[in-house]
Amino acid sequence: MAAGFAQWGNDLYTGRRSYDIVGRRRVWYTISAVLVLITAVLLIKPGLNPGIEFRGGSEFVISGVTDTEQQSAIDAVQSIAPEESPRVATLGTSSLRVQTAELTNDEVEKVKAALAEAYGVSTDEVTSSFIGPTWGQDVSQKALRGLAVFLVFVTIVMTVYFRNWRMALAALIALFHDLVITVGIYAGVGWEVTPATVIGFLTILGYSIYDTVVVFDKVRENTADALQQSRYTYAEKANLAVNQTLVRSINTSVVALLPVTAILFVGTFILGAGTLRDIALALFIGMAIGTFSSIFLATPLEVTLREREPAIRAHTRKVLEARAHAAGLEGAEGAADQALVPSVQVGALRPGAHQGTAAQPKRKPRR
């Protein structure tokens, strides 16, 4: 398997095997647009499920219980505050979490006692927390501010590093795409949004850009002298870069996702609701989408944007015309349509390779 994978990598690198990712960008744009639409729907219905940090309220954690049956917790709370409908969740193997609306100090003490009695544990095993509704808002407000500052910094850094604002723009669009879809899917899963989730969302920012930077670095390398040659178009060179980094993208994504999957698994099935689980889910979705977008969205977008530059547009036209002309010469008729363009294999030129007589210097046809 590994050998086959390495071989596949070779083929992608040399261009022997090539996926026309940039060429079929309309397909990816459509897929992304559909995904974003779906998440937009998910954000409206069912919508994000705010955790206690955002709603405000009281939280009780009963540890060391032998029976994690949840109804007795609901009954215990309602015996003190009848109008309450507490949310109960299992934490780990022997703990329960009960969340209610905000209770008075007096009620909190009573509920603690009732819960301790219901589960047959001492009151020491029942802890209570109070969380003001402003706490979570504060976190998300700061997260938004962090997002803005981060975007400004990253745009500057990427523009300076790649010396091209269009690349930075493409990376940012891909980043927004990742973020929106992650939040949407998180809403679809229906888990509570806690500060831990917000952490996860914010980390995606870094990861998504990181992934894109690695691909763009190769794109830049491949297209550095794109305009100095007339064999391939800019898009074809960029496409080669995506193909060449495909193995790396897959490897890094798998490697990054493995630990996250481990936390997600342990968090979901063993620990239950909590920090680790929330971070892991947000990261898992975000990283998977981030990999997709760095391959299928960022580079095609970059090409779309770059092709608006007159120099590149002119170059592309020139290359395609020359190719059509050559095809017209060798082919039977002048049926030099674009259909033959995908058959061009784009790869790095290998020293010593015989390019055929057509590649030899020619005398200019005299007029």
Partner 1 sequence: MAPPTRRQRPVRTLTVLGLLILAIFGAVLAGTKWSDASLTPNLALDLEGGTQIILQPIADSGADVPQETINQAIEVIRQRVDSSGVSEAEIASQGDKIVVSLPGHPSEETLDLVRTSAKMEFRPVLSYGAPEPVATDTATDGATAAATDAAAATPTAEATTEPSDVPTKAAPDSPSDAEYYVTPAVQARFDELDCTDPANLTGGASGDPDVALVTCDPEGTTKYILGPVEIEGSDIKNASSGLQVNSQGSVTNEWVVNMAFNSAGTKLFADVTERLQGLTSPQNQFAMVLDGLVISAPGLDPGVIINDGKAEISGTFTRDSAATLANQLNFGALPLSFEVQSEQQISATLGTEQLQKGLIAGLIGLVLVVIYSMLQYRALGLVTVASLVVATIVTYGVIALLSWTQGYRLSLPGVAGLIVAIGITADSFIVYFERIRDELREGRPLSAAVERGWERARRTILASDAVNLIAAVVLYLLAVGGVQGFAFTLGLTTLIDVLVVFCFTHPVMALLARTKFFAEGHPASGLDPRRLGVTGSRYVGRGRVVTAPEQAASATPAESARVPVTVGATGLTIAERRAAARAAATDTAAADAAAADTAAADTAGDGPQDALSDAPAQTTPDDTTSTGSTSIATTPAGTPVDDSGRTEGSEH
Quick one: 46 or 331, whose CB is closer to partner 1?
A: 331
x-or-dash string of contact with partner 1, 258-297, rule CB under 8 A: xxxxxx-xxx--xx--xxx--xx--x--------------
- Distance CA(284)–CA(327), nearest Å, equals 48
DSSP assignments along 96-150, one per residue = EEEEES---HHHHHHHHHHHHHHHT--GGGEEEEEE-HHHHHHHHHHHHHHHHHH
The residues in 186-245 that bind partner 1, with binding defined as CB under 8 A, are 195-196, 198-199, 202-203, 205-207, 209-211, 213-214, 217, 221, 231-232, 244-245
CB of 215 to partner 1, least distance (A): 10
- Distance CA(114)–CA(310), nearest Å, equals 75
The residues in 14-43 that bind partner 1, with binding defined as CB under 8 A, are 14-18
Quick one: 70 or 268, whose CB is closer to partner 1?
A: 268
x-or-dash string of contact with partner 1, 318-337, rule CB under 8 A: -----x--xx-xxx------
Residue from 19, 150, 165, 176 that binds partner 1 (CB under 8 A)? 150
The residues in 156-185 that bind partner 1, with binding defined as CB under 8 A, are 157-158, 161
End-to-end distance of the chain based on CA atoms, in angstroms? 58
Q: Does 83 bind partner 1 (CB under 8 A)?
A: no
Quick one: 38 or 180, whose CB is closer to partner 1?
A: 180
- DSSP symbol at 358: G
- Distance CA(120)–CA(126), nearest Å, equals 11
- Distance CA(1)–CA(8), nearest Å, equals 10
Cβ-proximal residues to 343 (8 Å cutoff; 6+ apart), any chain:
none
Q: Does 119 bind partner 1 (CB under 8 A)?
A: no
Residue from 73, 80, 118, 131 that binds partner 1 (CB under 8 A)? 131
